[in-house]
Structure 1
């Protein structure tokens, strides 16, 4: 298994309709492969084979000045599951074309104190724009936005920048982060997203230290009810992608790509690795293996065959992280426990004390034991070795909604009849088996900030 970034040769096409000042050579650049060390970084995980598919043909981008989704008359409605009933695929991206000067003004010349995070793509800055016109506004006035700026020396940015525009620019759903616009001016490539005030699920699950600019006290753990709400929202987003007329395979489902608004509603971000699903009766897409260690489905890693249900495996990994409060991969844990999926499967299959030992102790037993058992069973099904044995995301949404209803009815949120008994948490670590890693590994950081996460910078 290789451990390098890599471009998917033959998959990138230039965005055809761009501002007149667009740099014609920019879209032709391809990332160069480099060694990595971060286990949470996106990687090309095996040499793979030449891909057969291409990114979708880019549609015309319009400058509306609003950045708002098109009305229902401007796009076709997706038939499919209830989970995707509110979503639609737009005939053309409805994005604001920003000038570089506008985004420079919105971020106060990309000042250091506006930086929300930094990764392989470049830096993400917090900016302010007028809610009606989307023109630059003074800091603290108008609405906040997240501006992702490509580092000119980025090894991975151009192709992923294009994928974001092609996919997220045309997908509209309450559980997908809104791409508001972009800038392509000379060598400057930028993307502008809605600002997600509660940050990423990864930060809430794994960061015990206060965030930059936050309070001095440790970040409060997510309750069982909030965890279920977040899981349901993320599942609805995936269900929408999978139920689209032409299936979209997300390919990089992980906790750092699930962002939370002020009410903790979950939205999927970062479509840099998204692909159109199989067509013409095919069951899969063959492509270079790219993704994040610990989340990629085994059949994809082994063969390069990417199925719609490869995303379901990634969802299962995140659901396991939600249950346990542990990272998918963590070399700080004892030997044999580095890979969460491999280590946790026997616990998931047990409905008794083993499962109780697996649950995040920060929940302090305040969850429905029946709900936890159902969630564990669902997680096992999502993590099935054979992709054909995994449930569809429509079914995942339905089961999670049942669990949420069961948890409310069983009094699990208050230690009632359906609640598991609290257990001591000071047994050789936060979880009694070595504790969780608190080393820097997050894909983003900032004072209550959220945005499609850049990958860790690698030189």
Structure 2
């Protein structure tokens, strides 16, 4: 799971860039005085009337017994939720941590995903762990229950497997080994339970390890599942020797552990002030519920007497230090004028003044302030230790302005750490821009940004979630292409999810233009779901409704919008063009640029437009995907080619918006257009994919950039 850490100032991420040339620190007394005055005049966060009306805050500070379990914050009883405007909202607690209490059996149940219930065995509030067991395994009367699903934690749940002590058992059910080319590995155990040995049933096996064993024999099994278990029980002398004869059922009933991070997200400040967080069922933060029954926007504030003492002390300090303040201010201003403002320091204002949507606060855009941008602050030493001293063996790849390393944080999270090459102007700009944008974006198909280093750090470092399955480019035409792990349905789903991420970026106010959409920046997680990455070149359209930004063209050769390259005007249609190249890669398995191809086909965009226009789609697509053998695949790939053609038009106005691209892709995924459809629409109401318009595609070249890879 990925959650933002306690709020800190984004400015701390970027001050390090100008450590050599920035003015000396503000005098200590001057800073203390400003702090004291600020505390004296500040008040608590205002109470949100809408949230206060919707919640009974006192309910958050009660506990509930469910059988032998004491249920309290951050868990909550699902039947204590209240429906407001048609949406179920909890009184308080973390998203995805609703406990269902069955009054008939007194069992406490946690539902991780739809249709998968897990019985609560224990909750350790001191160590922030919960022990769960598959409800089917607990309720099964047999000593040998059949595992029927994998454990899936939904994105909105604040639970993960980082708790120590977990292991796994892999199950291979009903395997037809007749004629299998590979022998069974030595660590595979056959399940010998009587319920598995019924007449006519194929043999089943288990392996006390994570993942599939060597060989392809297990592909003949009707079901392959991985169940988490506790290592102490799996390795125990009581159950370990008899796993195949029913011991595994006892191990399953001992459960496994999940953990949660009490310092994650906007709850940190709220809980530090003795409050508890209220969330809706979609994971939206609704307010801090305080012990006095009030509901505040961020925290419960300080005690009044402490505020009074600080105010009095600040007033006295202001009188005593007034004259000294004048002298110190004069010296500070005089010293500051001796330093020239470097590009990197000016860049900080540029990035944040143009890089915060209206929903993030208009004052940020007017003043150039970064105080509303929040992200977790890591120490250099912590990240150095996490990456093994930035060891070469941990290196995942080279980005446009840094090297990316795999790291293991002390809390158990696996991360990708981007290390800035140097403090050059362009590198600092991309660093600030990526941190400013990613710290405010949250979408399941965007890579999660965990934070960056502090102002006192030796180097500029960015920290992201680790995405384990490489890039789309790796699988299409890179070092993993021989695995053939991306069949056509999976490629189509990648296109849909990538378009979903871009549609989200283009829909927020003001819109975000990624500016470097390419298969090297589309990462794949363990389940081959998309994570769009690398926002170093991204820009936001102005908040005044303008449709473009005038800026020097940047991007990757083969992907840059030719109209942007020609007119220096960046629009959301520039991303649509780049996405059209991605679609062409998905259907052809060819790279965007290949100098070994014929001169007029070096750029895949030119090749795709020419061949589609000449009705030679069969000479463009990857035949091994089933284009020539499956009619449905042929139709779907042809329609995706037509859609890529529309995206690759030279004139940006002729390209569809990304929202329309997404709708067409979803329509293709649901079945496409069939014969007999009328009025340009299918029977299910989905739009028909239009035919390719006539267009002329000319050769061009773009400025280069280097991809930023945060996965292996």
Common topology (TM > 0.5)? yes
Equivalent residue in structure 2 for 1:168, among 429, 432, 438: 438
Equivalent residue in structure 2 for 1:395, among 660, 679, 697: 660
Alpha-carbon distance change, 74 to 111 in structure 1, aligned in 2, over 3 angstroms:
farther
Q: For the Cα contact (< 8 Å) 2:561–2:578, is it kept in 1?
A: yes
| Larger relative contact order (Cα-Cα within 8 Å, sequence gap ≥ 6) | 1
- Is 1:72 the counterpart of 2:289? The answer is no
1:121 equivalent in structure 2: 401
* Separation in structure 2 between the aligned mates of residue 321 and residue 27 of structure 1, nearest angstrom: 45
Quote how far apart the aligned CAs of 1:109 are.
Answer: 1.4
Alignment of 1:247-266 (within 5 A): 247-266=511-530
Quote how far apart the aligned CAs of 1:23 are.
Answer: 3.0
Quote how far apart the aligned CAs of 1:357 are.
Answer: 2.0
- Is 1:301 the counterpart of 2:571? The answer is no
2:473 equivalent in structure 1: 202
Alignment of 1:180-191 (within 5 A): 180-184=450-454, 185-191=456-462
* Separation in structure 1 between the aligned mates of residue 561 and residue 386 of structure 2, nearest angstrom: 40
Deviations 1:369-426 (A, max 9, x none): 211221111111111121111111111111101111117999xxxxxxxxxxxxxxxx
Root-mean-square deviation (CA, aligned residues, Å) is 3.4
Give the number of the structure whose residues are more often helix, by fraction: 2
Quote how far apart the aligned CAs of 1:221 are.
Answer: 4.4
- Is 1:110 the counterpart of 2:380? The answer is no
1:313 equivalent in structure 2: 577
* Separation in structure 2 between the aligned mates of residue 232 and residue 27 of structure 1, nearest angstrom: 46
Alpha-carbon distance change, 17 to 165 in structure 1, aligned in 2, over 3 angstroms:
closer
* Separation in structure 2 between the aligned mates of residue 291 and residue 20 of structure 1, nearest angstrom: 24
Of the structure 1 ranges 193-202 and 359-368, higher mean CA displacement relative to structure 2 is found in: 359-368
Alignment of 1:430-441 (within 5 A): none
Q: For the Cα contact (< 8 Å) 1:321–1:327, is it kept in 2?
A: yes
Q: Could you state the TM-score of these two structures normalised by the residue count of structure 1?
A: 0.67
2:636 equivalent in structure 1: 371
- SS state at 2:601 partner: coil
* Separation in structure 2 between the aligned mates of residue 169 and residue 348 of structure 1, nearest angstrom: 40
Q: For the Cα contact (< 8 Å) 2:13–2:460, is it kept in 1?
A: no
Quote how far apart the aligned CAs of 1:74 are.
Answer: 6.5
2:711 equivalent in structure 1: 450
Q: For the Cα contact (< 8 Å) 1:122–1:154, is it kept in 2?
A: no
Alpha-carbon distance change, 299 to 210 in structure 1, aligned in 2, over 3 angstroms:
closer
Of the structure 1 ranges 305-314 and 332-341, higher mean CA displacement relative to structure 2 is found in: 332-341
Q: How many residues align?
A: 341
- SS state at 1:203 partner: helix
Deviations 1:147-204 (A, max 9, x none): 1111236674211110111101101111110001111334410011011111111111
Alpha-carbon distance change, 27 to 280 in structure 1, aligned in 2, over 3 angstroms:
farther
Equivalent residue in structure 1 for 2:491, among 210, 223, 227: 227
Q: For the Cα contact (< 8 Å) 1:173–1:237, is it kept in 2?
A: yes
Unaligned runs of 5+ in 1: 1-14, 30-63, 77-87, 130-135, 212-217, 411-440, 452-459
Q: For the Cα contact (< 8 Å) 1:27–1:159, is it kept in 2?
A: no
Quote how far apart the aligned CAs of 1:288 are.
Answer: 1.0
* Separation in structure 1 between the aligned mates of residue 441 and residue 671 of structure 2, nearest angstrom: 32
Alignment of 1:277-356 (within 5 A): 277-349=541-613, 354-356=616-618
Q: For the Cα contact (< 8 Å) 2:419–2:460, is it kept in 1?
A: yes
- SS state at 1:95 partner: strand
Q: For the Cα contact (< 8 Å) 1:252–1:274, is it kept in 2?
A: yes
Alpha-carbon distance change, 324 to 119 in structure 1, aligned in 2, over 3 angstroms:
same
Alpha-carbon distance change, 348 to 309 in structure 1, aligned in 2, over 3 angstroms:
same
- SS state at 1:171 partner: coil
Q: For the Cα contact (< 8 Å) 2:626–2:633, is it kept in 1?
A: no
Q: For the Cα contact (< 8 Å) 1:316–1:379, is it kept in 2?
A: yes
Alpha-carbon distance change, 450 to 155 in structure 1, aligned in 2, over 3 angstroms:
same
- SS state at 1:406 partner: coil
1:32 equivalent in structure 2: none
* Separation in structure 2 between the aligned mates of residue 259 and residue 196 of structure 1, nearest angstrom: 7
Quote how far apart the aligned CAs of 1:364 are.
Answer: 4.3
Larger radius of gyration: 2
- Is 1:159 the counterpart of 2:423? The answer is no
Q: For the Cα contact (< 8 Å) 2:400–2:708, is it kept in 1?
A: no
2:55 equivalent in structure 1: none
Alpha-carbon distance change, 276 to 20 in structure 1, aligned in 2, over 3 angstroms:
closer
- Is 1:23 the counterpart of 2:16? The answer is yes
- Is 1:273 the counterpart of 2:553? The answer is no
Deviations 1:112-150 (A, max 9, x none): 211111244222111112xxxxxx25xxxx221101111
Deviations 1:75-108 (A, max 9, x none): 99xxxxxxxxxxx976754522100011011111
* Separation in structure 1 between the aligned mates of residue 13 and residue 647 of structure 2, nearest angstrom: 47
- SS state at 1:199 partner: coil
* Separation in structure 1 between the aligned mates of residue 591 and residue 626 of structure 2, nearest angstrom: 19
Q: For the Cα contact (< 8 Å) 1:121–1:154, is it kept in 2?
A: no
1:97 equivalent in structure 2: 377
- SS state at 1:368 partner: helix
